[in-house]
Chains A and B, each alone.
Chain A
Amino acid sequence: MNTADEYDEQTSGHPDAGLAFFGKMCASISHEIKNCLAVISEQNGLHQDLLMLQRQGQPLAPERAEKITQSIADQVARMDRIVKRLNRFAHSSDRAWECIDLSDICAYTVELCSRFAVNRGITLASEGSAHLEVHCQPFAMLQVLVGCLEAGFAQSSSGQTLRLVVTREESGPVIAIMPSLEHTPPAVKSIAASMGLAFSRTTHGEATKISFTRG
């Protein structure tokens, strides 16, 4: 996915945009799991190689064996974090409406999109007020936020930082996307509108704002 237009085409052109989004995110997470498995597999292979050399008379230093064991343990811990992220994502689709903490969902979105960002050399950050809760659909909210970040990727170059900043304004809670989006995909706007969210730009154009009209 390279441009906001492509995102639009892929999601709005699909008979079920939500399902398409679900599939894309799960596929990305499964790539991360594959990388962990690949490292574990190589460490296991290295251990076997070293044992074979030991049988041929070349001693296996305990530090080598410990390093391999540690590497496998690190990868298992990494995979556990990835699977927890996947589990949370899966459960986001089985809850219709609920109260969600905006800072928490922004931090989670950043985590979900980290691989897309790293592949483009872009840094993601989430900032903002704790315990600002809104009533919305978690899965649709993730669709909106990921869609915004992807639109941000399309206009950013390597080395840039994209931020999701949670604040409270007089009108209610706001998520600001910085720098502002040149193009917000209509499919994303439409999902946002279905939850009563509105897009706007800050006065000086430095951020795109998502405002919550329902508390």
Chain B
Amino acid sequence: MYILLVDDEEELVSTLAERLGFRDIQADWATSAEQALELVEKNHYDIAVLDVRMPKISGFKLMHMIKEKVPDMRFIFLTGHGSESDFKEGSESGARFYLMKPLRLEVLVEKLNEALAGTAEGSESR
């Protein structure tokens, strides 16, 4: 499994990537939509984990931009609280899961596996 983590909190995504590496999940990270799009051009990721609220370009908008380049990529969103409008917008856009911050890594790994298998319906995890 090869994943892309995108969040403007560098310490969060870099640490997450390292911890996923310990679990044999290869992860790259980006702190902006621009960086993420550059990485998507170069690598083929199975899943992108995106923060909903990022500077300049939101996670939702980034998802649409990535989908134009890689239509089969799957998405998981990270959110601070998960407002109703966020869930609605994400579900309509085809997001598979929402994970609340702070994350539980075992939950992220479980959702990554489910998203990759494509067996589960979209849901939220708090």
Contacts and interface: CB of A to CB of B under 8 A. Distances in A.
A39 B31 CA distance: 14
B80 A42 contact: no
Nearest to B83: A27
B18 A119 contact: no
B19 A38 contact: no
Contacts of A71: 11
Contacts of B19: 42, 45-46, 49
Given A42-B15, A46-B18, A49-B22, A37 B102 contact: yes
Q: Could you tell me the dominant secondary structure of chain A's interface residues?
A: helix
A31 B81 contact: yes
Contacts of A49: 19, 22
A53 to B, nearest CB: 7
A120 B103 CA distance: 26
Interface string A153-184: 00000100000000000000000000000000
Interface of B: 9, 11-12, 15-16, 18-19, 22, 53-56, 80-81, 101-103, 105
8 contacts: A34-B81, A34-B101, A35-B101, A43-B15, A53-B22, A75-B11, A119-B56, A121-B56
